[in-house]
Amino acid sequence: MKINKSYIFLKGIRFYAYHGVAPQENLIGNEYIIDLKLGVDISKAMQTDEVTDTVNYAEVYNVIKTEMDISSKLLEHIGKRIVKKLFKQFATIEDIDLFLSKRNPPMGADIESAGIELHCSRK
């Protein structure tokens, strides 16, 4: 069997955090949702059944949580920090697709969420 591309994903990660441009956002906070897709060669882990031969989901979550705990004005800034930290901490990650959204942003609109989408490669 030939694997053309393989991914690890974490979908619908929810955080309550204190990000935003408006002062009240830093006081009352909001709910944020992250979907993450990591381009990783998982072929060795498929053979060995060992977590050390892949990227550990729990460790990825901890990186994201650490960055979400740091207050920022912009989702763009948070997204950059998450991607940089994941590339730094996990040498086997080849590329990252990150979707970060803020639920019910305070912008005077009837809107479910607003956010960013990043598609990044290590090179």
Rounded mean pLDDT of 69-98? 97
CA distance 72 to 100: 13
% of the chain residues with pLDDT over 70: 100
Residues 15-62: pLDDT tens digits? 999 999 988 888 899 999 999 999 999 999 999 999 999 999 999 999
Q: Which of 121, 76, 120, 84 is nearest to 100 (CA)?
A: 76
Check residues 104 and 95 and name the one with the higher pLDDT. Answer: 95
Instruction: Tell me the residue ranges of DSSP E strands in 2-122.
Output: 7-17, 30-40, 93-103, 113-121
What is the set of active-site residues? 102
The rounded distance, in Å, linking the Cα atoms of 13 and 108 is: 25
- Count Cβ atoms within 10 A of the Cβ of residue 117 and give its class: 0-12 exposed, 13-18 middle, 19 or more buried: exposed
- pTM exceeds 0.85 for this model: yes
